[in-house]
Amino acid sequence: MSDELRVKDGMVVSLEYVLRLDDGEIIDASEGDVLEYLHGYGQIIPGLEKALVGLAVGDSKKVTVPASEAYGEVDMEAFEIVPRSMFPDDLELEEGLELSLRDVETDEPFDATIAEIRETEVMLDFNHPLAGETLHFEVTIPAIRLATEEELAHGHAHGADDHHH
């Protein structure tokens, strides 16, 4: 193994990370589960992917990713007002509650957050919960390897248990 492996397109990068918001609250962390991703294929948010290029094994870095390079700005059109009667009576609605809903026509699952509760209506926010947030990552790279041809063909890293089809 040459120690010249660096993060670039076509590398499978192992990532340990802690993710904080502006107020310092930790909202996500790898906590011993290393995230493996294939670099250059948009598997992680663009701002983080860009910042990792050129790092070597053992490197650590603090990366601040603006909303526009993470989950996007808050889209004002992604709010929708629905009748209160759409929800089961026994569901206790509260602002900030995250719901998993299914589209009646396509059966696609999607997530929404309750933005506002009115007397007979509820305003739902379909933005990603982290839309509009600046993300602060602390990352460490425990390992880097060349992607296999199969991984490159599929556009994502395969875990150890994927190899025996």
Query: Which architecture characterizes domain 76-125 according to CATH?
Result: Beta Barrel (2.40)
Q: How high is the mean pLDDT of the chain?
A: 91
Q: In the β-sheet with 98-102, what is the strand arrangement from edge to edge?
A: 79-83, 121-125, 109-117, 98-102
In words, the CATH class of domain 11-71+132-157 is alpha beta
Q: What share of the chain is helix, strand, coil (3-state, %, to 5)?
A: 15, 40, 45
pLDDT in tens, 49-88: 999 999 999 999 999 999 999 999 999 999 999 999 988 8
Q: Where in the chain is the domain with CATH 2.40.10?
A: 76-125
Q: What are 94-115's pLDDT values in tens digits? A: 999 999 888 788 888 888 999 9
Between 163 and 16, name the one with better pLDDT: 16
The ranges of the chain annotated as CATH 3.10.50.40 are: 11-71+132-157
For residues 64 and 18, the answer to whether their CB atoms sit within 8 Å is no
